[in-house]
Amino acid sequence: MFDVLIKNGKRMDGEKVEVAIKDGVILNVDTQIESSAKEVIDLAGAHYVSAGWIDDHVHCYEKMSLYYDYPDEIGVTKGVTTVIDAGTTGAENIGDFYELAKKVKTNVYALMNISKWGIVEQDELADLSKIQADLVKARIAELPQFVIGLKARMSKTVVGENGITPLELAKEIQQENDDLPLMIHIGSAPPELRDVLALLDEGDVLTHCFNGKPNGILDQETDQIKDFARAAYEKGIVFDIGHGTDSFNFHVAERALKEGIKATTISTDIYHRNRENGPVYDLATTMEKLRVLGYSWEEILEKVTVVPASCFHLEKKGRLAAGFDADITIFDVEDGEKVLTDSNGFTRVAKEVIKPVKTIIGGAIYDNEL
């Protein structure tokens, strides 16, 4: 007997799907499963089923004062089964973050900030003495199930007078720790984007990829994607949305799409203010923004499931398949107009909206806000 059996669901392409779960693991996925279960969820062909959504750039260490939120407010209640905190904490406070994260429903992982206290202040990389490689290595060894990567914010307000040096140190730390995934925030220069991208390797993550700043990927004079940004994309550097309060611009994303450059992963850079007041609100809204630009729902779902799971080596997540964790999002896609606003106040009108109905995490079932 299964613990949970999802009946009469449908994939994004309309194909019927049923899913059997036991002990927090998906045991079977097929068009029809004949068996008994302790709990049956009959979707009556009315709802879509996908692997659980993953938001790979959030800020959810609640004890911070600058950027913070609560994992379940941006996770399970929003159809998101897994969140990856992107550098809120460093080696000195990530242990406390882990203790808090163990108590919530949503799966929580962390990218450790290379600055030892994380984002306590906006300029966490202006003082190079806060970057202590030995301390970073020790915490990674202590929390291998929680720390899945590193984070460095490379923009003027963060690095102060240090230019590209913090990134050089981040790359050294990455190499000393089995080439853990590394996410790099970009913003205003210095350092110049060209210099940042020159140091990144295939698989490194460039977040805020479609920001509207002069130091972004779009040449604002020619209205073309900068040659070195295209070369970085073709090299295999991961282009992550990281929407945030100030880091997603519709026009930049549209120009990139016209030139064949798509976001690799879709994330929110959410924290309580841009969740409560916008323009982010939740992962579903960010997904809608990519849809209104012309991305298909199928590829959007890949960019919040299998792709981030692969980028951050979450081997049992991101797929609706036997042997994977029973993390599942059940959702609707409905016709209906919705005004969407980017980080610079520009708007587009969506003709479709996506709404999570139920979130399943480790086999536990939660109803979503409708």
- Annotated binding-site positions: 57, 59, 151, 185, 208, 269
Return binding residues for Zn(2+): 57, 59, 151, 185, 208, 269
- Residue 115 CA to residue 139 CA, distance in Å, equals 13
How many distinct helices (H) and strands (E) make up the chain? Answer: 12, 17
The span from the CA of 164 to the CA of 339, in Å, is 39
Q: Cβ–Cβ contacts within 10 Å for residue 298, how many?
A: 12
Q: Which residues contact 217 (CB under 8 A, 6 or more apart)?
A: 193, 209, 210, 225, 226, 229, 252, 256, 261
Three-class DSSP category at 74: helix
Per DSSP, helices labelled H in 126-222 are: 133-142, 156-159, 165-176, 193-199
The owner of tokens 């210099």 is 195
Give the number of other CB atoms < 10 A from CB of residue 15: 9
